[in-house]
Chains A and B, each alone.
Chain A
Amino acid sequence: MSRFVDPLVVGRVIGEVVDLFVPSVAMAVSYGAKDVSNGCHVKPSMAADQPLVRISGRRNDLYTLLMTDPDAPSPSDPTMREYLHWIVMNIPGGTDATKGDVVVPYMGPQPPVGIHRYVLVLFEQKSRLVDGYASPPADRPYFNTRAFASNHELGLPVAVVYFNSQREPSGNRRRR
């Protein structure tokens, strides 16, 4: 119990979304005033707008950020794994995600059933990807992060963070 287990391993992000990697870039994600840490809980209403994603790294390097939901439509029945929420490419190092090219526009979390994990993965690009526009993923569901990374030769990720989100109870009905 005293051994530290990576929260990404405990939350099964490594294994279901990405492979084991060595984080080399610092990434800070925040929705408004709330900073996102691994496994924290964010309400869908707070995450409706795209977050502020600040990354470190050298200015010459370009990074790709994507956000998926591996628990779509339900954690007990993830038939639509994964559901794509956001792709931004060509982010210069040391800046934030607004400086990159948006390939797939941001969609906020809308978990229908259960508590979903939302994973933000950062890759380092080898070169400027101009053809990101030419081949955006066709659909949001049935996305595969590993396949996307191998298609665009992104390799292993350099930073991953995930948070949980749950459908907010609608209305004010008092269950008794």
Chain B
Amino acid sequence: MAAFASTSPSPAISASTWRMESLRAALPALRTSPSAAIGAGLRPRKQAVRLGASASPFLRSSFVSTSSASSSASPSSISSAVSASLAFSYTSSFSVESSFEHRLFGTDVHGRILAMRHGKRIPRLGRPADQRKALLRGLTTQLLKHGRIKTTKPRAKAMRKWVDKMITLAKDGSLHKRRQALGYIYEKHIVHALFAEVPDRYGERPGGYTRIIPTFPRRGDNAPMAYIELV
């Protein structure tokens, strides 16, 4: 109840709505991201899994939040949240979704709430999951096409896994693996060339098919750059 004492709800909200929201507030929930309104074009569907969409203004003020989410975008997020809740009536339980800004907390596999990133080894590359996958697909395609590319060091380090995966698929060489590779690489002639030459080139090498060489930082933003090349 103290959670709502500090809120500034619109006078139109009735007492019955409050009781529903108090139920929802009891569950651990995520803040609605303020960038949802800004970047709504990217993931409109993700707002469906927002818990208690209309409860978010109340929840936000109840948490001590460091970001400016509580102040900004509340009218727009209410409208988007209301539309989302209308469109998808099932509000599933809390889920960890990728977003641009720092989330208040995430959850682990068992559903426990975590405030830190300890042990999470997936590089997020500052992008939501679909963009991240597309970025890595494009980068591996270009590396397999050109043999050596220059990119930022975190991207090069994230790429290694996928380039090695593609070369391992090519080492196997069966039709099923070829189709899996075709589903990942953007250009099919590269896949066919890869499957043709990998057995000769990497037949004896047990893994580690790339090499990263750091180089001078980029002038515009001083980003650490690196060459990544096929060994």
Chain A residues packing against B (C-beta within 8 Å): 10-12, 39-41, 71, 74-77, 113-115, 164, 166
- By a CB distance below 8 angstroms, the chain B residues around A164 are 227
- By a CB distance below 8 angstroms, the chain A residues around B213 are 10-11, 39
Give 11 pairs: A residue, B residue, CB < 8 Å, sorted on A. Answer: A10-B213, A39-B227, A41-B215, A71-B147, A74-B146, A75-B146, A76-B147, A113-B145, A113-B146, A113-B147, A114-B146
- The reply to whether A115 and B216 form a contact with Cβ atoms under 8 Å apart is no
Interface status of B149 (Cβ within 8 A of chain A): yes
- The reply to whether B144 and A115 form a contact with Cβ atoms under 8 Å apart is no
A77 to B147, CA, bound (A): 7
- The reply to whether A75 and B197 form a contact with Cβ atoms under 8 Å apart is no
Besides the known contacts A39-B213, A74-B147, A77-B147, 18 further A-B residue pairs in the complex with CB atoms under 8 A apart: A10-B213, A12-B211, A39-B227, A41-B150, A41-B215, A71-B147, A71-B148, A75-B147, A75-B230, A76-B147, A77-B197, A113-B145, A114-B146, A114-B149, A115-B146, A115-B148, A115-B150, A115-B227
- By a CB distance below 8 angstroms, the chain A residues around B229 are 75, 115
- The reply to whether B216 and A76 form a contact with Cβ atoms under 8 Å apart is no
Given A115-B149, A115-B227, A164-B227, verify A76-B215 contact (CB < 8 Å): no
- By a CB distance below 8 angstroms, the chain A residues around B215 are 39, 41
Q: Closest Cβ of chain B: how far from A77's Cβ, in Å? A: 7
Q: Closest Cβ of chain A: how far from B108's Cβ, in Å? A: 30
- By a CB distance below 8 angstroms, the chain A residues around B197 are 77
Q: Closest Cβ of chain A: how far from B223's Cβ, in Å? A: 15
A40 to B144, CA, bound (A): 23
- The reply to whether B216 and A75 form a contact with Cβ atoms under 8 Å apart is no
CB interface residues, B 176-231, toward A, < 8 Å = 197, 211, 213, 215-216, 227, 229-230
A77 to B230, CA, bound (A): 10
- The reply to whether B146 and A76 form a contact with Cβ atoms under 8 Å apart is yes
- The reply to whether A40 and B216 form a contact with Cβ atoms under 8 Å apart is yes
- The reply to whether A76 and B230 form a contact with Cβ atoms under 8 Å apart is yes
Closest 10 CB pairs between A and B?
Answer: A76-B147, A75-B147, A114-B146, A75-B148, A115-B148, A114-B147, A76-B230, A114-B148, A74-B147, A10-B213
A10 to B147, CA, bound (A): 16
Partner of B148 from A10, A40, A76 at Cβ < 8 Å: A76
Q: Closest Cβ of chain A: how far from B192's Cβ, in Å? A: 14
A40 to B149, CA, bound (A): 14
Q: Closest Cβ of chain B: how far from A163's Cβ, in Å? A: 11
- The reply to whether B144 and A76 form a contact with Cβ atoms under 8 Å apart is yes
Q: Closest Cβ of chain A: how far from B67's Cβ, in Å? A: 33
- By a CB distance below 8 angstroms, the chain B residues around A41 are 150, 215-216
CB interface residues, B 131-158, toward A, < 8 Å = 144-150
- By a CB distance below 8 angstroms, the chain B residues around A11 are 213
A75 to B230, CA, bound (A): 8
A108 to B137, CA, bound (A): 33
A40 to B216, CA, bound (A): 8
Q: Closest Cβ of chain A: how far from B47's Cβ, in Å? A: 28
Residue in chain B with minimal CB distance to A40:
B216
Q: Closest Cβ of chain A: how far from B171's Cβ, in Å? A: 16
Residue in chain A with minimal CB distance to B194:
A76
- By a CB distance below 8 angstroms, the chain B residues around A71 are 147-148
- By a CB distance below 8 angstroms, the chain B residues around A114 are 146-149
